[in-house]
Structures are given as structure tokens and as C-alpha cells.
Chains A and B, each alone.
Chain A
């Protein structure tokens, strides 16, 4: 039985849990260090406010163990604030959180809430995915070994680097579950991962 952990410090974590539940996958919430003791096969970094989540990761002593897990290959799906937490560099901001994703990310790249928008687009092998951008970031630049999965108006909005899937937008807010399924099938259930 596959189990997905969802970082549940702040933001839209329940929506990701609902998405995985729809796919018949069990989830558990990470709110404090003891929660990391339970076994899980993948981690979700949900949308919310990256400053809040980043601060709480440190305060609750979750930061170092989670970063180690990501570096050791734990499959991670990050949306919006989660992308910011993974980024190696932020534009106009000296802060770096996990810094495991070789990408430069611009926060609030589309402006304030009035700039939030909805669109449909392709993401990797998936076509016509509904995408909600909420005060969203985008990826300004990424390393050559990072695969670009999706772009909107010339800006990178989804990437994959080995075990890390990072999205500017929110697939969890909409009933379309294909991206969550893609993550499970392509990144979590790989035979070499199961063997470990």
C-alpha cells in the first residue's frame, strides 16, 4: 500500500489529501517531527504561504530531516509555495529554503490577487490540464538537467528534476486528478524505488 505524506503546516494540504484519496492512496499529515517516524513513500509540499511554511519547518525542527529525505531521493510533489521552498534561488529575495531544485523562481510573479488566473495547458505527456494560478510564482530559469514540463506565455510553470516535481499552479483545487496520478505512476511507483 502506497502512502503519501502531506506537509500540513499551513495552506491547502487537505485538497492534496482529497486528490490522493480519490486515487485510492492513503495520506498522512506532517505537522511535527514525530510524524516523520511513520513510513511513507512520497511527500507533498502544498500551496500556502512559503514564508509561513518555511518558518514553521525550522521552528518545528522538520527542516533538516525533510531536506535529507529529499536529497536521498524521496519523491516530492510541490505546488506553488512548495515550488518556492524547493528552489535553489529566488528573484529579489536572498532567502533559500530547501534549495534542492536547480531553478530560479520569481515569487508573486503575476502580481497580487487581481493577477490570479485560470488556464488549460499541457504538462509533460498530459494534455489540456486545468491550471489555477493563485498569486503564483514562475520559474525564471533552470539547470539543463531539469526537465521543463509546462510553460505559460513563455514562462516555465512546471518542471521535474529526478525525484522532484514542482508546479507554479494548483492541480489539487480542481477535480482533474491526472497530475497526481502521473506523480504516483512515474515518480513514486518506479520499480527501482520499490526495491529500495
Chain B
């Protein structure tokens, strides 16, 4: 990937800002998501809640299934590959996916190395729990970051934790003296230049979305008020009672995230939210995959 291509890939994430990216498993769901106002869809065979329930090894989706979704909608289509599985990423690039999510939701294929994302032309989004993880993924070529949260739980606590931690670390970096940055770069295990960028600009060099456990319009607005630039909703929509209505409500909540009247209005009559599970109740902690 050339510097210019990387720039264009970061730019696409900028176009997604203020939007909601929704997990879909069929062309019909993709249509519902697009009509509800999703700014992109994540095509996958099983949403995280079902991956959790099914157990076993979870892999990249069938390319044909992804193609079906690409044909169904005009908005960008993303798909997931396993952490470190660069061949799955090559396959996704071959079918001209708009964004690859190197995702902890799937079973990791490599417990040491992430994908060298600079070797690809197609952009990548990666999950992170703190500033160090985010900057390491960016160094590897990620053009967009999202919090990991804890996928498939409908519990927003981990996403909140991750975003708050990232923001606190960014604020700390901004307030540092210039000569303290070298030590921070060492502690975070990231290049000095990235630390310097955050110190100067007070933000990541790429767009940062919230993900993992967002289930209600209020959850989405919470993440936005905490500083996320957009929101991924995985299981929260199509595991709920009225997906179309909930999807629309979350889109509106993200656009007017600080207007409490709008938030109150869109939170009404959404039917049943996905049945959540607490992180303490689950055996499989996805956020710990890939550091």
C-alpha cells in the first residue's frame, strides 16, 4: 500500500463518521440496515451473539455470501477476517471488500502476529482496548480503529472502559513535556512518531469508532458523548424484537447524540432489546484476543 492509498483509506473512514455500521448476515438484513440509515454494513455468517452460543472455531464468511450482500446495497460493505490470517484478508481483497475488520470476534489464527496491513491495498479496521493497542494496529497499517468492547453481550461496559481508557491516555500524552514522549513510546511499545502525533493533535491519527456491546440508542449516544466518532452495532439490532425500528432509532441517536429530547423520543417503543449477558457470566473473553 502506498502512502497515498493509505490516505484514501483513512479518508473513507472519515466519510463514515457520525454513522452506524451494522452487522448483517443476509442480503435482506443488509437492505433493512441500509434503509434504516446504516452508513456501512458488516457482512458475516453469524453475529457475535450466535458465534458465542455456537462455540467452536469461527472463521471468515463464505465469499459468495458476502458478494450477495455487496449486490444488495450501495453503501460500503465490510467483512471480518481472523487476527493474523492474511490469506483470509487476501480473499476479501480479491472480492473487493470496502473494509476488512481484523477481528477478535473470530477465532485468532495467529497468537503472535497481526496481519501486515500495509501489504494490502484495501483498508483495515482493528479493535483496541487502549492507546497502545490502537497505535500498534495503526503502525501495522490499520486505517480505522474501534474499541473492542465485549462483542455479542449487549453489555456496553467494556466499550465504555476501552474508550475512557484511550481518552485518558490521550489526555495524559497531550499534557506531557516533549522529552517525556520517548519513554511513553517505549512503554506503549509503539513508534515515537505516532506518540508525537497524539501529543500534538490530541487524537488518534485515524477515525475511532465504538464497538462491542452497543444495544440501545442510549448506548450509542453514550459512546458518542464519550468521544467516539461513530458506532458499530453487532448483535444489538438483529437480535432484538424490532430490528428495523431499533436500527433507525440508533442512527438518529448517533446524529443527535447530545440532544436529550431526540434521545428520549427514539428510545420509546422499541420492543425487546437483545437479551444481554454480563462479562462475568461468559467463558470466552473476546477482547483479550490480539494485543
With both beta carbons as reference points, the residue of chain B lying nearest to A31 in the complex is identified as B256
Write out the residue numbers on chain A whose beta carbons fall within 8 Å of the beta carbon of B96: 111-114
Residue contact A10 to B19, C-beta cutoff 8 Å: yes
Stretch at the interface among A11-19, A36-44, A154-162: A11-19
With both beta carbons as reference points, the residue of chain B lying nearest to A117 in the complex is identified as B8
Residue contact A51 to B74, C-beta cutoff 8 Å: yes
Q: Determine the distance from Cα of A81 to Cα of B19 in the docked complex, in whole angstroms.
A: 14
The number of residues on chain A lying at the interface, defined by a beta carbon within 8 Å of a beta carbon of chain B, is 36
**Residue from A9, A15, A52, A113 within 8 A of B98 (CB atoms):** A113
Residue contact B75 to A51, C-beta cutoff 8 Å: yes
For the complex formed, measure the closest distance between the CB of A13 and the CB atoms of chain B, giving whole angstroms.
7
Residue contact A52 to B39, C-beta cutoff 8 Å: yes
Residue contact A11 to B8, C-beta cutoff 8 Å: no
Residue contact A14 to B17, C-beta cutoff 8 Å: yes
Kindly state whether residue A134 has any CB partner on chain B within 8 Å.
yes
Residue contact A135 to B39, C-beta cutoff 8 Å: no
Write out the residue numbers on chain A whose beta carbons fall within 8 Å of the beta carbon of B76: 49, 112-113, 135
Write out the residue numbers on chain B whose beta carbons fall within 8 Å of the beta carbon of A66: none
Kindly state whether residue A89 has any CB partner on chain B within 8 Å.
no
Residue contact B8 to A134, C-beta cutoff 8 Å: yes
Residue contact A80 to B15, C-beta cutoff 8 Å: yes
Q: Determine the distance from Cα of A111 to Cα of B95 in the docked complex, in whole angstroms.
A: 12
Residue contact A12 to B8, C-beta cutoff 8 Å: no
Residue contact B259 to A113, C-beta cutoff 8 Å: no
Write out the residue numbers on chain A whose beta carbons fall within 8 Å of the beta carbon of B11: 116, 132, 134, 170, 173
Q: Determine the distance from Cα of A47 to Cα of B8 in the docked complex, in whole angstroms.
A: 13
For the complex formed, measure the closest distance between the CB of B38 and the CB atoms of chain A, giving whole angstroms.
7
Kindly state whether residue A59 has any CB partner on chain B within 8 Å.
yes
Residue contact A132 to B8, C-beta cutoff 8 Å: yes
**Residue from B8, B17, B36 within 8 A of A10 (CB atoms):** B17
Write out the residue numbers on chain B whose beta carbons fall within 8 Å of the beta carbon of A56: 37, 251-252, 255
With both beta carbons as reference points, the residue of chain A lying nearest to B36 in the complex is identified as A55
**In the complex, per-residue mask of B239-275: 1 if CB is within 8 Å of any chain A CB, else 0:** 0000000001001101110010010000000000000
Residue contact A52 to B38, C-beta cutoff 8 Å: yes
**In the complex, per-residue mask of B72-112: 1 if CB is within 8 Å of any chain A CB, else 0:** 00111000000000000000010011110000000000000
With both beta carbons as reference points, the residue of chain B lying nearest to A47 in the complex is identified as B15
Write out the residue numbers on chain A whose beta carbons fall within 8 Å of the beta carbon of B123: 113
Residue contact A31 to B17, C-beta cutoff 8 Å: no
For the complex formed, measure the closest distance between the CB of B251 and the CB atoms of chain A, giving whole angstroms.
7
Q: Determine the distance from Cα of A15 to Cα of B96 in the docked complex, in whole angstroms.
A: 27
Indicate whether A107 sits within 8 Å of B74 (C-beta atoms), given known contacts A32-B256, A113-B9.
yes
**Contacting residues of chain B (267-286) with chain A, CB-CB under 8 angstroms:** none
With both beta carbons as reference points, the residue of chain B lying nearest to A49 in the complex is identified as B39
Residue contact B14 to A15, C-beta cutoff 8 Å: yes
**In the complex, per-residue mask of B35-56: 1 if CB is within 8 Å of any chain A CB, else 0:** 1111110000000000000000
Residue contact A49 to B255, C-beta cutoff 8 Å: no
* Most chain B CB inside 10 Å of its own CB: which residue of A48, A55, A114: A114
With both beta carbons as reference points, the residue of chain A lying nearest to B18 in the complex is identified as A10
**Residue from A14, A48, A114, A118 within 8 A of B122 (CB atoms):** A114
**Residue from B7, B34, B252 within 8 A of A118 (CB atoms):** B7
Kindly state whether residue A108 has any CB partner on chain B within 8 Å.
yes
Q: Determine the distance from Cα of A28 to Cα of B233 in the docked complex, in whole angstroms.
A: 29
Residue contact B18 to A13, C-beta cutoff 8 Å: yes
For the complex formed, measure the closest distance between the CB of B81 and the CB atoms of chain A, giving whole angstroms.
16
**Residue from A32, A80, A107 within 8 A of B259 (CB atoms):** A32
With both beta carbons as reference points, the residue of chain A lying nearest to B10 in the complex is identified as A173
Write out the residue numbers on chain A whose beta carbons fall within 8 Å of the beta carbon of B18: 8-11, 13, 48
A sample of 25 inter-chain contacts (CB < 8 A) reads A10-B254, A11-B17, A14-B17, A47-B15, A49-B19, A49-B40, A49-B75, A51-B37, A51-B75, A52-B37, A52-B75, A55-B35, A55-B37, A108-B74, A112-B96, A113-B123, A114-B93, A114-B96, A116-B12, A118-B4, A132-B7, A132-B8, A132-B11, A135-B15, A135-B98
* A interface, CB within 8 angstroms of B: 8-15, 31-32, 47-49, 51-52, 55-56, 59-60, 80-81, 93, 107-108, 111-114, 116-118, 132, 134-135, 170, 173
